[in-house]
Structure 1
Amino acid sequence: MATAKAYWLILFSAIVTTMACENNVQEVTALTRKVQEIEEGKNIKGLFSRSGNLAAYLTAPRMQRVKGDTPYVDFPQTIHVDFYDNNRQLQNVVTAKFARYYEGLNKVFLKDSVVVYNMVGDTLLCQTLWWHQADEMFFTEDSVYIRSLTRNLRGTGFRAKSDFSRYTIDNVAGPVQLPAEGADSTMPTTNSAKPAALNTKPTVIAPQ
């Protein structure tokens, strides 16, 4: 009888220990798992301000806000952003098939068929593009294609102010119009051109 009791005691202790271990594993897993709260919305309209003035107006058919260590907002079904100057005049328009807004960083990442165009006829096409709200800058390390009324450019590495008034291409892969002697080096002319592969410095261009 004593032996039987000892056997059942050992067996019961083993079961309890196993259950405790399983519970501990589940508790640890639950504690270490990053829980993400997701808020969803449709037909989104948002405003970005600059010193109390309207800086940008965003519209998107769908939004997903993900809370966590680095909260962000996804726009998975296209995005459209209008940028304005201090006089509330439309400066340029940005569209993309996907965007992610990092709320704490004030940065927007755009990808897939990104298009930026301004009111004077310049258009930027690329696959990825960042917008830094605090600095009011666009930038990307990827390939870009720019077309305007007077020129077409290709290259990699791009930076520009949000108003698109002047932009820099790090590595140009197409013809670049060179300024005439004595002219502003940032203002291209229509009288001469030279293969950009011969240029070793970033090309800074002011749209015409």
Structure 2
Amino acid sequence: MNNIIRQWIRQAQTGDGEAVLAILQVFRPLLYKYARKYRYCYDSLDEALSTAHLAVLECIYSFELDGKEEGPAALRRAVQTAFRRENRHFKAYWQAVERMLFPQEERAEIALFRHSVCAFETAVQRIELQDELAPYLQCLTEQERRFLYLRYVKDYTFDTIGALHGLSTSQACKIVGQAVDKVKTKIKGDSLWPAVHPPCGKRNRIH
């Protein structure tokens, strides 16, 4: 199998589209396996499969034919690496959303009750955070979404964000603050978050 795959890779690197299709067909079960496993990171299974296909293509054109590595192993590792990277990005994104939506003291409260009956992770699973939050984030302008991404996902400073867009630090800070307030206000109005019950029995609500 290794010799056949290496031959197809060689042909693909010279522009043979049929060789690429042959490789994708042979690895189809593996690609579907990983696409289904990491489906939660994407809007659809097709989108997850696109990540798998792209990983295979990148591996094909970067594969060193004179090296000792086996073709099947290289392709398998490329797919695994791509999905693991997407999984890290997915988790980092929603952790950033959590930081964005909750003030410091509220995040401390959440951390305090992480192992209680209504821990934050349990609540997230119950209300399907990704699907629930999407409409709220979509209410923002393109600029607001981009600024939130740079601040809370890429962890850029307000100085850097402002410089990238020809704005002052205070202007960048104001745009991010307005975006956060807009999302939080809309979420509070729709009562998205369930109540959290501390061990002492006092009822609090996460906003």
| Structure number having the greater strand percentage | 1
TM-score, normalisation: structure 1: 0.24
TM-score, normalisation: structure 2: 0.24
Which protein has greater RCO, CA pairs closer than 8 Å, 6+ apart? 2
| Structure number having the greater helix percentage | 2
